[in-house]
Structure 1
Amino acid sequence: MPHHPQTERTGRLVRGAALAASLALVPLAAACSGGGDDDAAADRKQAKISVSDAPANGVVAPAKVEVIANLTGCKPKIRIEATELRQGVCHTKKVDYLVTTFPSDELKETWLDSASGYGGKYLVGTRWIVSAQPQMLAGFQDKLGGTIRQLRGFGPAAQPSAS
């Protein structure tokens, strides 16, 4: 059988990427496993650690409405349950906000393209978006990671009133 260095290198890269992806999913699979009250208490303790350690450790919130909302201190009410996205509403004493998740980054980018007509700032992560008052986004970013993105909007910019 002939020796093909390019094929071997590609195969190693694919295996390495598959290994990295599977290792990244281990914590998510463990968090989703069934269990008793002891498991629930351990999960809450781990979530509390994850919230404070997220930015320092480079952790990015997973793309699940309930998990992202929990990291921000809320129990969401699911508003949209569709193939293209899931969206939950969070009501807290400080602010009301939306957590939207997507099955792929392509669908997230499509959503952002559509929302760009309205403008505004959004906290954007891998397969998720948090829509909140702009002054709240930095605090959410500390807990979730992601980047704050400014969307332009169409039409004239608001001008200060003369009154």
Structure 2
Amino acid sequence: MRTAALLGSLALLPLATACTNGKDSTAANAGKAVVSVTAAPAAGVEAPARVEVIANLTGCKVSIRTEADELRVGVCHTKKADYAITTFPEERFKQTWLDTASMYGGKYLVGSRWVISAPENMLKPFRAKLGGTIQQLQGMGPRPSAS
């Protein structure tokens, strides 16, 4: 039964990845680059989109900063650094958040309906525990020119 489900999923993968909404995705994704997609989390699965669960997996006791229909934000204060965990009830809210965050630039750990904003040196260890991808978002302003 599992084998049949896996084969069915794999057969549909090319169809799902080939579909677009008809808009030019190059312009919509300009300034966003996935930095790391190869390392798998230790558990082999991605963390669920729940602030408290993600905080527990990263080893912090979270304080909820924002509770809204579109997102929840929890803040973790640790000896290494402070970081934020943002979860979303739907992927479209996460995408809107990422589009807005791209104005500021930086690297983020991005999962299914969640984002972690943390110092860069913490993203890889978090990714090993939670899954997701590390994304570099381009900020606004002048770019260094190649010499």
TM-score scaled to structure 2, two decimals? 0.69
**Which blocks of at least 5 consecutive residues in structure 2 are unaligned?**
10-39
Distance 1:88 1:157, change over 3 A: same
Conserved 8 A contact 2:110-2:135: yes
Output the CA distance in 2 between the equivalents of 1:70 and 1:158.
39
State which of 86, 97, 113 in structure 1 corresponds to 2:72: 86
Q: Which has the higher helix share?
A: 1
User: Are residues 1:102 and 2:107 paired?
Assistant: no
Conserved 8 A contact 2:90-2:113: yes
Distance 1:158 1:79, change over 3 A: farther
Tell me which residue corresponds to 1:127.
113
State how 1:56-95 maps to structure 2 within 5 Å.
56-95=42-81
Larger radius of gyration: 1
Displacement after TM superposition at 1:56 (Å): 3.8
Tell me which residue corresponds to 2:123.
137
Displacement after TM superposition at 1:58 (Å): 2.0
The number of residue pairs the alignment matches comes to 109
Displacement after TM superposition at 1:157 (Å): 3.9
Distance 1:77 1:116, change over 3 A: same
Displacement after TM superposition at 1:57 (Å): 4.0
**Which blocks of at least 5 consecutive residues in structure 1 are unaligned?**
1-12, 18-53
Which letter does structure 2 place at the counterpart of 1:82?
A
Q: Which has the higher contact order (CA 8 A, sep 6+)?
A: 2
State how 1:41-60 maps to structure 2 within 5 Å.
55-60=41-46
Runs of 4+ in 1 over 4 A off after TM superposition: none
Sequence identity (%): 67
Q: Deviations over 1:101-143 (max 9, x none)?
A: 0001111010000000000000000000000011110011011
TM-score scaled to structure 1, two decimals? 0.63
Per the alignment, in what secondary structure is the counterpart of residue 156 of structure 1? coil
Output the CA distance in 2 between the equivalents of 1:57 and 1:134.
22
Per the alignment, in what secondary structure is the counterpart of residue 41 of structure 2? helix
Q: Which has the higher strand share?
A: 2
Conserved 8 A contact 2:109-2:135: yes
